[in-house]
A and B are shown apart, each in its own frame.
Chain A
Amino acid sequence: MKIGIPRGLGIYEYPILFVNFFKYLGIEVVMSDKSNNKILKDGIDNSLIESCLASKIFIGHVANLVKRSKEEKIDYIFIPRLCTFENNQTICVKFFAIYDICKNIFNAKFLTLNLDYEKNKTELNAFLKLGKKLGKSKPQVIKAYLKARKMQKIYDKKKYIEQTEKILLNDKKLKVLIVAHPYVLYDEILGKRIIKILEDNNVELIYANINSLTMQNPKIFKWIRTKDSEYINISKSIFWKSSRNILNGVGTNINNVDGIIYISVFPCGTDSLVNELTIRKTKNIPSLNLVLDEQDADVGINTRIESFIDILEMNKNKNMRISG
């Protein structure tokens, strides 16, 4: 059996977990091509004009897999449906529906994982249901899930330790906090493009989505309560999982950085609310709000980032002069 996984949206929530789960079950996994202009174009053609850029790119990835499915004999295309999480957390409603949308747009076989704590109680139950559809026995599925979960945790921890070391190193480089959802940040034509520009400008990057909250394992029992974390200083009522993780990163790193860059896609509903609130609550730190859409020229973004970095450098020199 062969399963195709599109690189986008929900996959970035737990990339290692999803891929390894199938691998441990003995199923071959094919990823869609990395985001490129062709995929973006396919996505735009197949989706509604008003939907957000990230979802358009996702649909482009699915189209890519559908095209390849005949040649490479892909049996199913895997689209996780994320809905509710522990502690009354939820996620943007696009994730609720993306599986059903793809099912209606494309003529292909789809496979889903319904991650809905209100209905399934735990993550394991959702995976068991998926395993049943694949025709695997329960012990097999549990073993594969636990192993894949562990891999995900090791991966997250490694990243987290790397980042804390980076923060602790008292480098003379400018430190900038990148605030973006993982599916924007790790996309070739969205986040990675901007990261490249920033790295060319010799800036130390700290990612808000890597923090102590993101590496927590999901709870096995419903009644275990997790402690409130740093996000509470910025927003009390935040209930989107992805945004909460990012805000936690903002809350923990805010004293270690010189500036914040928000990257969001047009028209992201959650970001429009949460980023606005964060900018209003962290007024003493310079921030840059980048909203990406389909017709972005690199030059425009380049200019904005360069001038932002110039401001940060001027600020830093000023502070050094005052303190020195």
Chain B
Amino acid sequence: MQNKKYKYRVSFPHIGNYYVPIYNWFSNILDKNTTKIIIPKKMSKQTLEFGSNNSPDFICLPFKYNVGNFIESLNQGANVLVQAGGGCKYGYYAELQEQILKDMGYDFKYITLVEKGKIKPFKIYKKFKELNPNLTFFKFIYRFCVAALIAYFLDKFEDYIRLNISYEEKIGKFEVIHKIFLLKLRNIKSISQLFKVKNKYMKKLKNIKLISKEDRNEKIKIGIIGELFTSMEQFSSNNIEKKLNKLGAATKRYTTVTYLLVKKPLEMKRLIKKSKKYIEYELGADGTTSVAHAIELADNGYDGIIHIKPFGCTPEENAIPILQKISKDKNIPIMYLTFDTQNSDTALDTRLEAFYDMLVMNKEKKKVDVLDNKEALDG
């Protein structure tokens, strides 16, 4: 195999389109002559099957996807696996995944970026230095910053698309630009180049003709809140955003990597203060943000909210009883979706269509009510 000529074959699990900044980071800090970066295969039913066959039964869904990604990469010849970590159960994934894959007979080196909930840059640097002895600490950090910037611009780019994709005059233009942008971002060499690419494509994006403002107000606006993996990795939530866009709804989603790493820790106190009526303390992981965002969306005049979570996600389970109360108080419909290993597109389609139709009817009813009130006032 051609892979054999590389000493290290590095791979990592998928999450949304963030393989782009991760690939960029790794390819710039690792030696090209000895290392190959294997982007895991695109998520498929096969990935999930590999994952769920080799994971504990009722662990949360992201674990299964991660294991599936790793197995597919290992089959392609990877021998270095990189895993991050975080709050709730995500911090413990690494140890068990390593054990499961080793028990399956694979031989590999396992790198965890987060240890016991803390990120220690120098420790991570040392781990990567073993792969590339020429790596300097400055380069390591600099390249990380570039990758973080890429993630930031990617988030901004995708945010704009999500908000406007259902408003475009000719359907399909956004998607084309999005795909080209992803390809260009992969091989960014410097910050100046990044800014050039970003400016060029942002401009192109903003030049796409949208429908008029009146028509836009007619459209249904749906906010998507919930767990981070199902929000960001569209395959795991059966492409829910695209489905909603196809029905004709504009979607808003808060959860992005930029939001989770930068904005959320800063505004945590504000969020709790805002939702003081319902919660006093943090609910763990993304539970608090789900509650605060539901309140925000309701106040901002959104027509409906969809709350998504994978099976076995405790923080979001914590949020649901509170969301139910908000839904009643603020009179905003919230649909709760749980994704598991067995999802059928048709079932989801039916539920989304029904929810969408209900929102349309609600909106029309509101309009009639307003007209009635006006007539009553005039009369």
Contacts and interface: CB of A to CB of B under 8 A. Distances in A.
Contacts of A112: 280
15 contacts: A48-B320, A50-B312, A83-B281, A92-B314, A93-B88, A93-B287, A96-B287, A97-B281, A100-B318, A100-B322, A104-B325, A269-B60, A274-B92, A280-B99, A280-B103
Nearest to A94: B314
Interface string A262-301: 0000111110111111001100000000010000000000
Interface stretch (B51-59, B182-190, B370-378): B51-59
A240 B314 CA distance: 14
A93 B117 contact: no
Given A100-B280, A267-B58, A239 B89 contact: no
**Which of A98, A105, A266, A277 has the most chain B CB within a 10 Å cutoff?**
A277
B92 A100 contact: no
Interface string B92-107: 1111100110010000
Interface residues of B, number: 42
A235 interface: yes
Contact of A93 (B96, B115, B318): B318
Interface residues of A, number: 44
A110 to B, nearest CB: 10
B319 to A, nearest CB: 8
B116 A237 contact: yes
Contact of B117 (A52, A239, A268): A239
A193 B279 CA distance: 36
Interface of B: 56-60, 63, 88-89, 91-96, 99-100, 103, 115-118, 278-285, 287, 311-312, 314-315, 317-322, 325, 338
A96 B281 contact: yes
Contacts of B317: 48, 50-51, 94
B283 A93 contact: yes
A248 interface: no
Contacts of A114: 281
Contacts of A94: 314, 317-318
Interface of A: 47-48, 50-52, 81, 83, 88, 90, 92-94, 96-101, 103-105, 112, 114, 116, 235-240, 266-270, 272-277, 280-281, 291
A104 B322 contact: yes
Contacts of B281: 81, 83, 96-97, 99-100, 114, 116
B315 A93 contact: yes
B96 A239 contact: no
Nearest to A59: B321
Contacts of A47: 321
A270 B115 CA distance: 17
B58 A273 contact: no
Contacts of A48: 317, 320-321
A59 to B, nearest CB: 9
Nearest to A102: B321
Nearest to A50: B317
A240 B96 CA distance: 14
A99 B280 contact: yes
Contacts of B320: 48
Contact of B95 (A237, A266, A275): A237
Nearest to B326: A104
A52 B312 CA distance: 9
Given A50-B317, A238-B92, A239-B92, A273 B322 contact: no
Contact of A97 (B93, B96, B318): B318
B312 A269 contact: yes
A50 to B, nearest CB: 6
B314 A269 contact: yes
A50 B311 contact: yes
Nearest to B311: A50
Contact of A237 (B92, B279, B322): B92
B99 A272 contact: no
Contact of A273 (B92, B116, B284, B315): B92
A268 B281 CA distance: 22
Nearest to A283: B103
Contacts of A277: 95-96, 99
Contact of A96 (B60, B116, B282, B311): B282
A104 B325 CA distance: 7
**Which of B63, B93, B312 has the most chain A CB within a 10 Å cutoff?**
B312
B67 to A, nearest CB: 12
Nearest to B102: A280
A112 B325 CA distance: 21
B56 A276 contact: yes
B116 A97 contact: no
Given A93-B315, A267-B312, A270-B89, 18 more contacts: A48-B320, A51-B314, A51-B317, A88-B116, A88-B117, A93-B88, A93-B283, A96-B287, A97-B287, A98-B318, A100-B279, A101-B322, A104-B325, A105-B321, A112-B280, A270-B92, A276-B56, A276-B96
Nearest to B112: A237
A88 B94 CA distance: 18
B318 A96 contact: yes
B110 to A, nearest CB: 12
B51 to A, nearest CB: 14
B72 to A, nearest CB: 21
Contacts of A235: 95
A92 B287 CA distance: 13
A160 to B, nearest CB: 27
Q: Which 10 A-B pairs have the closest CB atoms?
A: A93-B284, A97-B318, A267-B58, A96-B284, A97-B283, A276-B56, A272-B59, A100-B279, A272-B56, A93-B314
Contacts of A90: 117
Contacts of A104: 278, 321-322, 325
